[in-house]
Structure 1
Amino acid sequence: MTPANNGVPEESGSGQSRFDILYEDNHLLGIVKPVNIPVQEDATGDKDLLTLLKEDVKERYAKPGNVFMGLVHRLDRPVGGAMIFAKTSKAASRLSESVRTHAFHKVYLTVVHGQPPKTQGRLVDTLLKDPKSNTVSIVRRGTPGGKEAILDYTVIGSAEGYSLLKINLLTGRSHQIRVQLSGIGCPLYGDQKYGAAVNRPGQQIALWSALTRFPHPVTKEDVELISLPPGAYPWNLWTPTIQKQAIR
């Protein structure tokens, strides 16, 4: 297994990246996604992560012409943490196949209000997205346009009325973690969209992509990216050691 922060670049860049790089070679680029940056262009017109990464690679390696950067999975704009991008079309295609065949594994950490009814469990819901409002709701199974959403959660600990959860995402629906946890009465800390009644404007949503594991598209070896949440409240209610043990 190739762990995070241990990728050995096969090409040598001359400059320092503006991103925290977890893994890089000729085929892949793994980074810590900063919070509050859209992954791809959206209606706000704000600079997106794909564009910024292309610029970063172009500058670091003095590449002429356009730089390829393939988007394989997504994170909501306010969410940060480990993400992998493909630097070639072949790598993008093979990683996308890994996602389709569930060989692509993602683990999240989140802090929620209250505590789920069980210390661990599986949530299975049907979700329907409203593109106009960019919101997602839980609907009855069989609702036209509805998509099945499945996640497993484990309660790692509780403090000050909050709980730290480990989330294994089995499907990748829009806003899935936020909607499903709000649906059981445990909205995420800082989530204004699905927990406005218990959160204050300006709070940063406490959802983090902590681990991403997948087979390398060329070598087939397991690649593992690890990124722990920032040390700010409410994350600092649990030590980095507890957080790291939780995602293993």
Structure 2
Amino acid sequence: MKSVTIGENDAGQRLDKFLTKAYRNLPQAMLYKSIRKKDIKLNGKRCDISTRLNAGDVLTMYLKDEFFQQEPEEYDFLKAPLKLNILFEDENILILDKKPGLIVHPDENYHFDSLIARVQHYLYDKGEYRPQEENSFAPALVNRIDRNTGGIVMAAKNAESLRILNEKVKNRELKKLYLCIVCGRMEEKSATLEGYLEKNESQNRVYISSHGAPGAKSIRTHYRVLEERGAYSLLEIDLLTGRTHQIRAHLASIGHPLAGDGKYGTNRQNKKTGLPYQALYSYKLRFEFTSPAGILEYLNHREFEAKEIWFLKDFHSWNA
């Protein structure tokens, strides 16, 4: 038998989701059977798999101890470097400037160094993340960007902040602006591009078309020309829909691939720039809440900007 008290970071979850995350040795079939047979009770009473948990609730589980055995307390995130570029931090969130070359999450090959591992290592050393005291929550990233794209990434320190920010991202109550260098000069100095994006998982790339095909998703990309240097243009991008590789593929589809982009550009163009990867940076974040934001209401109308855009110095050295 085991009893556990639900903490703030576990509140709001469905009972079955909480148990699946907290006790990975507990098979799904056994979990559902135990709830039906009242071997799992909430506050001493029968409960349903869809019951939402509240802080202070007590779960009592009349199950074998083997289902509650935890892995040894060896945390892979402690192998990650502590280096972070922090634009803003408080008790709820971190706003970070991720540099190109760093993955945000471990990939299928698994690397001990990732942005989320660095965040968890940092918060662990500060005493703000104690995994041994958490049942199901770990600090998490709210948004992600490609490995070789730099820019602003948000991390939530608690479950309530994560829930709110995920909702705001879904409802597009955050504005994210990008800077990029494209090959060529744009015919229009400002425009909104529209099209359809189809993802090819096996190739890890996307394709853009003007007409929707089965499985394709509509996309809208607004750009504004900030400066021109020779055969290159510096653009500010407002991503009106957030799809995989949208900026890179959409601009390439109209004949203006990003400088340095090995996937959607050409080697001939890229060799001329000398850039090691695509010149793309998520450089500005603005909170534009149109609905209540709970404990994060104080962030409304605030704006954060990354100052060190690695490719701007190169761009300004090119002939005008």
Per the TM superposition, whether the score is higher than 0.5 is yes
Post-superposition shift, 1:232?
A: 5.7
**Cα pair 1:128 1:147 within 8 Å, conserved:** yes
**Cα pair 1:116 1:184 within 8 Å, conserved:** no
**Cα pair 1:115 1:163 within 8 Å, conserved:** yes
Is structure 2 residue 303 aligned with structure 1 residue 224? Answer: yes
Is there any run of 5+ residues in structure 2 with no aligned partner, and where? 1-81
Which residue of structure 2 aligns with residue 191 of structure 1? 261
Partner SS state of residue 121, structure 1: strand
Q: Which amino acid aligns with 1:91?
A: S
Which residue of structure 2 aligns with residue 208 of structure 1? 281
Partner SS state of residue 93, structure 1: helix
**Cα pair 2:221 2:240 within 8 Å, conserved:** yes
Partner SS state of residue 270, structure 2: coil
**Cα pair 1:95 1:217 within 8 Å, conserved:** no
Check 1:138–1:62 CA distance in 2 against 1; reply closer, same or farther (3 A cut). Answer: closer
- In structure 2, distance between residues paired with 1:179 and 1:112: 12
**Cα pair 2:184 2:231 within 8 Å, conserved:** yes
- In structure 2, distance between residues paired with 1:190 and 1:58: 37
Equivalent residues, number: 223
Post-superposition shift, 1:220?
A: 1.2
Q: Which amino acid aligns with 2:154?
A: I
Check 1:106–1:217 CA distance in 2 against 1; reply closer, same or farther (3 A cut). Answer: farther
Which residue of structure 2 aligns with residue 52 of structure 1? 118
Q: Which amino acid aligns with 1:226?
A: E
* CA deviation string 1:97-127 (max 9, x = no partner): 1112211110000011101221000011110
- In structure 1, distance between residues paired with 2:266 and 2:233: 18
Post-superposition shift, 1:139?
A: 3.0
Partner SS state of residue 39, structure 1: coil
Counterparts of 1:82-231 in structure 2, within 5 Å, are 82-197=152-267, 198-200=269-271, 203-214=276-287, 215=289, 218-221=295-298, 222=300, 223-228=302-307, 229-230=309-310
Check 1:91–1:127 CA distance in 2 against 1; reply closer, same or farther (3 A cut). Answer: same
Check 1:128–1:217 CA distance in 2 against 1; reply closer, same or farther (3 A cut). Answer: farther
Is structure 2 residue 181 aligned with structure 1 residue 72? Answer: no
Counting aligned pairs with the same residue, the percent is 32
Check 1:132–1:115 CA distance in 2 against 1; reply closer, same or farther (3 A cut). Answer: same
Post-superposition shift, 1:28?
A: 0.5
Check 1:63–1:174 CA distance in 2 against 1; reply closer, same or farther (3 A cut). Answer: closer
**Cα pair 1:70 1:87 within 8 Å, conserved:** yes
Counterparts of 1:6-25 in structure 2, within 5 Å, are 18-25=83-90
Post-superposition shift, 1:167?
A: 0.3
Which residue of structure 2 aligns with residue 81 of structure 1? 151
User: Which ranges of 4 or more aligned residues in structure 1 deviate by more than 6 Å?
Assistant: none
- In structure 1, distance between residues paired with 2:283 and 2:168: 19
Which residue of structure 1 aligns with residue 29 of structure 2? none
**Cα pair 1:136 1:179 within 8 Å, conserved:** yes
- In structure 1, distance between residues paired with 2:166 and 2:158: 12
Post-superposition shift, 1:237?
A: 4.4
Which residue of structure 2 aligns with residue 34 of structure 1? 99
- In structure 2, distance between residues paired with 1:99 and 1:153: 20
Q: Which amino acid aligns with 1:195?
A: G
**Cα pair 1:179 1:194 within 8 Å, conserved:** yes
- In structure 1, distance between residues paired with 2:244 and 2:170: 16
**Cα pair 2:259 2:275 within 8 Å, conserved:** no
Post-superposition shift, 1:48?
A: 2.0
- In structure 2, distance between residues paired with 1:20 and 1:217: 27
Post-superposition shift, 1:41?
A: 1.9
* CA deviation string 1:130-181 (max 9, x = no partner): 1111011013533121111111100011013110000011111000000001
Structure having the higher helix fraction is: 2
Indicate the structure whose relative CO is greater, using CA pairs within 8 Å and at least 6 residues apart: 1
Is there any run of 5+ residues in structure 1 with no aligned partner, and where? 1-16, 239-248
Check 1:154–1:41 CA distance in 2 against 1; reply closer, same or farther (3 A cut). Answer: same
Check 1:199–1:170 CA distance in 2 against 1; reply closer, same or farther (3 A cut). Answer: same
**Cα pair 1:111 1:234 within 8 Å, conserved:** no
